[in-house]
């Protein structure tokens, strides 16, 4: 499923386990800078608070097709862990030129 794979890649980029260039076909251009900033803040926060880098792990992903869009838009939500904390994420995906891509992203 696109949503699961794409969100895993986003978390891996934030954790600096994957280069940001691998997100370009999956995310709307405006979101690339957001993910880069999340990566910077996550990296400095982990090192500063514990001295140990934690790895985010995606656990649950649910997808809901948006009504009235002929199946070309969907909302995705799920949970992931980062160390002992369980956190939430949400995204909106759209079919763009015969491929899915994330056009909105919220990571809590």
CATH number, domain of 97, equals: 3.10.450.100
The answer to whether residue 3 scores a pLDDT higher than 80 is yes
Residue 6: which of 68, 89, 67, 64 has the closest Cα? Answer: 89
The answer to whether residue 83 scores a pLDDT higher than 90 is no
Tally of domains within the chain: 1
The answer to whether residue 104 scores a pLDDT higher than 70 is yes
**Residue-number span of the structural domain to which 93 is assigned:** 2-107
Residue 31: which of 94, 108, 101 has the closest Cα? Answer: 101
Residues linked to residue 74 through DSSP beta bridges, in sequence order:
65, 93
Q: What is the mean pLDDT of residues 17-29?
A: 94
64: confidence class by pLDDT, cuts 50, 70, 90: very high
Percentage above 70 pLDDT, the chain: 90
């Amino acid at each position: 499923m696109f949503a699961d794979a794409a969100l895993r890649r986003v978390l891996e980029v934030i954790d600096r386990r994957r280069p940001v260039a691998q997100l370009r076909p999956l995310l709307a251009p405006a979101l690339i800078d957001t993910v880069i900033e999340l990566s910077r803040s996550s990296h400095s926060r982990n090192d500063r608070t514990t001295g140990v880098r934690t790895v985010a792990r995606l656990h649950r992903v649910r997808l809901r097709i948006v009504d009235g869009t002929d199946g070309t838009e969907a909302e995705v939500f799920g949970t992931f862990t980062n160390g002992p904390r369980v956190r939430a994420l949400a995204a909106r995906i759209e079919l763009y030129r015969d491929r899915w891509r994330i056009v909105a992203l919220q990571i809590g």
